[in-house]
Amino acid sequence: MNAHLAPHWLLFAIIALALMPLRSLAQDIEPIRNIEAIAIQETARQLSPNAEISGGAMDPRLRMPACQGALSADPAQIRGANASVAVRCPTPAWSLYVSLKVRDPRPVVVINRSGARGQVLDASMLTLQERDVAQLSFGYFDRIEAALGLALRRPINAGSVLTPNDAEPARIIRRGQSVTITGRSSGIEVRAGGTAMSDGARGQRIRVRNDSSKRIIEAVVVGQGQVETGS
């Protein structure tokens, strides 16, 4: 009788042994949601509080060994609306790159009426509007004050986000213009007439010809028709 029962017990044992690794495997897989959560947390740390970060791009069939320590993440590599984060496990050692989508709405400076090339920006031309800065690969201004007094490099339409490439310091001195040269040294101030050899914006160093000595010197633009040398 025992000879007839042995095959059944053997079959049961084989099935039990076969099932045990499967259950163990299911328990020893790191949940995808854990990996993705660490990546999102690291990316959020680098963005504004209003940023929206979404995942869902990880393959659900992915099987990474359950981490016996704390998962960590390298600083996110953010390029426009895309972010990539390396998530790492110390034991067993593994790493995985996680791709995320980013939306980062912030107030930025927008042109509220069209402007021509060379036009100097004033407060009436500028407003703050919320835009997704993750999409603004050419940059932006986040304060109206930072754009005041700049001159447009090219025509720009109303509703456009103002970028650093759209504007430059306004040129308040033109080549060939007569200027007053002020020199200061040891508390002594000397003034002379001169001619600008190039255009210049406030704070810019330009070449100027002293009309009396005919010498060409370098001076800093300090105002309309005003340049300074020395300290």
- β-bridge partners, 220: 205, 228
> What CATH number does the domain located at 171-230 have?
2.30.30.760
pLDDT computed for residue 158 by the predictor? 96
**Segment 84-139, tens digit of pLDDT:** 999 999 999 999 999 999 999 999 999 999 999 999 999 999 999 999 998 998 99
Global model pTM greater than 0.85: no
The CA distances from residue 8 to 5, 20, 21, 159, in Å, are 5, 19, 21, 80
The one-letter code for the residue type at 142 is D
Which tokens belong to 20?
A: 């045990």
Q: Round to whole Å and give the CA distance between 85 and 35.
A: 10
pLDDT computed for residue 27 by the predictor? 56
pLDDT computed for residue 18 by the predictor? 53
Note whether 164 and 150 are within 8 A (CB). no
* Residue numbers in the chain where pLDDT is lower than 50: 1-6, 9-14, 16-17, 20-26
> What CATH number does the domain located at 105-169 have?
3.90.1210.10
- Alpha-carbon 180 to chain mean position: 42
The one-letter code for the residue type at 92 is P
C-beta neighbour count of 112 within 10 angstroms = 15
Give the domain ranges of the chain: 29-103, 105-169, 171-230
